[in-house]
């Protein structure tokens, strides 16, 4: 995540908002004459109540960014220009961090309160341990604390990446968590001394509806996933990449979107996101899956990818897909000039978009896009095989005044490769990709690349042009592109980085 | 069993559990300074800091040889650290979490998982 004014603004608003909410809760408790008995304990009461109010709001807001379908809906509205809706998981995580902080404040202030209830308020006749473990609030509170302990520790990258299923199961503890939250104030510990009315935060008015909406979301996802889906073709590409072609009549998508894939015979409960590498015109949905971790490796084995020769007797497994979900790449056609950058397997959204460009060009469709640059950075030459035929046909049909293709090979070459390249280099086509455009060796100098893109913005585009840079791949390159884009932008031409990440 | 590169390792999770447990115990220990017997506050502060030093890992604490690498020893140490947290309420939650962490470490030790990696070691695998 590159640090820019937007990020700083978000954190400023986020934390000031939380502080304001806490302060409001603090004074609301302090200035309430009906709660004078409890207030006589002192500051720990106001601190705990302030934190409690913040937690009530946070628990409601926490679920909103993970309602994928609602998020997808808002992506296509004006809201996306104000708030970066693609960063919904970032928001979810920071909500969780805020919850962790305020939970610690809330819990520790309450522990202080319980002790003082026993010593300073003999009129209530309660021992500290009774409030801890026998009251509704204490019991549900402790259960929630233990649940949070498991959820947070299993959600860290170190655990999530090594065993996703484990993270998935523990994260579903949110269901008992929310039930505990709903019943947290049932004991009516905080009572008005005038009319005995419970003076909680009424947070259930917020958390219950949102929880129900999230459950409805999950039901919708399950229902959609069970629509008829068939795996029609599996191709095993060099570079350890599997292409799956799936047919699902009820699935409508746009190029550049992504889906979640589930293969029950590999893992019943894991759903993994993959960019769709096909276009709707092709009549099927394809994804390119690179074999990297435990799920993908098992998938490859199930599909018989590691068998030598023709695969015999490999049963076609059932697959389920959920989606489509929006991604930045969807907005490509809104820009007059765009740059597509794909690194490694991150080339998949670019592939889908380029295919769509091919179809549009073929149909002579009208679109704002006037110039498209495509940069494919691959570590070894096998990876170019994935979309070589697509690029070859693009080169034939689409003129370079519209589409420029640049390929970069960044990995080390051994002597045989170098000799091979040298031998074949005098032909019409590039020795590695068999395209007209020559492969560059080594990493691109992004500064020079962006400067030449800026310089060659056609005058037909006019002044004040925004160039969309659509990137998918490892995070380090995203940082570089963001940095270089900011540095090279001027008043006439502005580079806007739209990156995908899962 | 643990030879496969993609097999799940319990040690990283135990590490995180113990870290959070240390934080909870430390917070509880600070609160319990206001409770009648200050002795427990002092002991729990010390145990919490030791846990945090092992789990961060604080530089130097991963080079104590057998003491810092053996997972059985760590599990037993944490089980022992539970005891001073029991008498007073503020440290109860931390102690419960520490128990979970100790059990997870014990499980990792039984499975024969290697010692905790050095800070710059492991690259996490992807799905």
Asked whether residue B119 is assigned to any structural domain, the reply reads: no
Mutation choice for B interface testing from A41, A106, A107, A149 by most B CBs within 10 A: A149
Contact A149 B34 (CB under 8 A): no
Classify burial at A452, counting beta carbons within 10 Å of its beta carbon; exposed 0-12, middle 13-18, buried 19 or more.
exposed
pLDDT tens profile A204-259 = 888 999 999 999 999 998 888 888 888 998 988 887 889 999 999 889 888 888 89
CB neighbours of residue A81 within 10 Å: 8
Count of domains observed in chain B? 1
Asked whether residue B94 is assigned to any structural domain, the reply reads: yes
* pLDDT over threshold 80, residue A464: no
* pLDDT over threshold 50, residue B121: no
Question: Strands A230-237 and A241-247, how do they pair?
Answer: antiparallel
Range of the domain at B30: 8-110
Report the percentage of chain B scoring pLDDT > 90.
38
Give the A window 166-225 contacts with B, CB below 8 Å. Answer: 166
Over residues A102-127, mean pLDDT = 84
Over residues A289-294, mean pLDDT = 84
Asked whether residue B115 is assigned to any structural domain, the reply reads: no
Instruction: Label residue A252 left, alpha or beta by phi (over 0 means left) and psi (-120 to 50 means alpha).
Output: beta
Residues A133, A204: Cα–Cα separation, whole Å: 22
Asked whether residue B86 is assigned to any structural domain, the reply reads: yes
Q: Which residue has the tokens 């789990």?
A: B55
pLDDT band at A462 (very low <50, low <70, confident <90, very high): low
Choose the closest CB to B6 out of A142, A153, A294: A294
Asked whether residue B121 is assigned to any structural domain, the reply reads: no
Asked whether residue B118 is assigned to any structural domain, the reply reads: no
Which chain A residues touch B9 with a CB distance below 8 Å?
162
Asked whether residue B38 is assigned to any structural domain, the reply reads: yes
Is A153 touching B (CB cutoff 8 A)?
yes
Asked whether residue B3 is assigned to any structural domain, the reply reads: no
Residues A486, A231: Cα–Cα separation, whole Å: 43
């Amino acid at each position: 995540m590159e640090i820019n004014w937007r990020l700083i603004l978000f954190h400023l608003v986020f934390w000031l908002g939380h502080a304001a909410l806490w302060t409001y809760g603090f004074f609301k408790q302090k200035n309430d004459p009906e709660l004078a008995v409890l207030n006589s304990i002192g500051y720990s009461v106001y601190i705990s109540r302030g934190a409690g109010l913040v937690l009530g709001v946070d628990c409601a807001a926490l679920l909103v960014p993970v309602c994928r379908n609602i998020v997808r809906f808002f992506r296509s509205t004006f809201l996306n220009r104000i708030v970066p809706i693609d960063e919904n998981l970032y928001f979810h995580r920071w909500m969780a961090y805020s919850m962790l902080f305020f939970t610690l404040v809330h819990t520790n202030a309450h522990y202080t309160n319980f002790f003082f209830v026993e010593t300073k308020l003999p009129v209530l006749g309660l021992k500290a341990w009774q409030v801890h473990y026998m009251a509704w609030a204490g019991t549900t509170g402790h259960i929630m604390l233990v649940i949070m302990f498991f959820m947070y520790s299993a959600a860290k990258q170190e655990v999530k990446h090594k065993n996703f299923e484990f993270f998935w199961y523990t994260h579903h503890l949110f269901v008992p968590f929310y039930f505990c939250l709903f019943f947290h104030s049932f004991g009516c510990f905080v009572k008005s001394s005038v009319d005995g009315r419970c003076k909680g935060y009424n947070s259930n008015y917020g958390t219950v509806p949102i929880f129900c909406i999230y459950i409805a979301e999950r039901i919708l996802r399950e229902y959609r996933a069970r629509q008829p889906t068939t795996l029609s073709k599996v191709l095993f590409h060099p570079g350890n990449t599997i292409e799956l072609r799936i047919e699902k009549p009820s699935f409508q998508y746009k190029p550049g979107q992504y889906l979640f894939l589930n293969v029950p015979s590999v893992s019943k409960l894991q759903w993994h996101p993959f960019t769709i590498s096909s276009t709707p015109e092709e009549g099927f949905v394809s994804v390119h899956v690179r074999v990297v971790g435990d799920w993908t490796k098992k998938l490859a084995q199930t599909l018989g990818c590691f068998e030598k020769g023709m695969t015999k007797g490999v049963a076609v497994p059932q697959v389920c897909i959920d989606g489509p979900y929006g991604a930045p790449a969807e907005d490509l056609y809104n820009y007059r000039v765009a740059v597509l950058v794909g690194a490694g397997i991150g080339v998949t959204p670019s592939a889908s978009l380029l295919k769509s460009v091919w179809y549009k060009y073929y149909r002579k469709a009208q679109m704002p896009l006037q110039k498209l640059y495509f940069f494919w950075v691959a570590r070894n030459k096998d990876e170019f095989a994935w979309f070589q035929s697509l690029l070859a046909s693009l080169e034939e049909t689409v003129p370079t005044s519209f589409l420029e293709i640049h390929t970069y090979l960044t990995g080390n070459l051994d002597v045989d490769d170098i000799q091979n390249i040298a031998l074949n280099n005098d032909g019409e086509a590039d020795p590695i990709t068999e395209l007209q455009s020559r492969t560059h060796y080594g990493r691109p100098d992004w500064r020079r690349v962006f400067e030449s893109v800026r310089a060659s913005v056609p005058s037909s585009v006019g002044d004040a042009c925004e160039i969309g840079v659509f990137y998918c791949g490892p995070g380090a390159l995203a940082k570089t592109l963001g940095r270089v884009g900011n540095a090279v932008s001027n008043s006439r031409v502005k580079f806007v980085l739209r990156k995908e990440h899962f | 069993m643990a030879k496969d590169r993609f097999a799940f390792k319990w040690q990283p999770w135990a590490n995180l559990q113990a870290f959070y447990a240390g934080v909870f115990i430390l917070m509880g220990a600070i609160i319990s300074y206001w409770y009648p017997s200050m002795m427990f506050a002092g002991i729990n502060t010390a145990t919490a800091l030791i846990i945090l030093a092992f789990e961060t890992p604080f530089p130097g604490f991963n080079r104590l040889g057998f003491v810092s690498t053996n997972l059985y020893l760590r599990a037993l140490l944490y089980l022992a650290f539970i005891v001073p947290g029991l008498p007073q309420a503020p440290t109860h939650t931390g102690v419960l979490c520490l128990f979970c962490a100790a059990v997870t470490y014990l499980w990792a030790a039984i499975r024969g998982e290697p010692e905790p990696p050095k800070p710059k070691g492991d690259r996490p695998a992807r799905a």
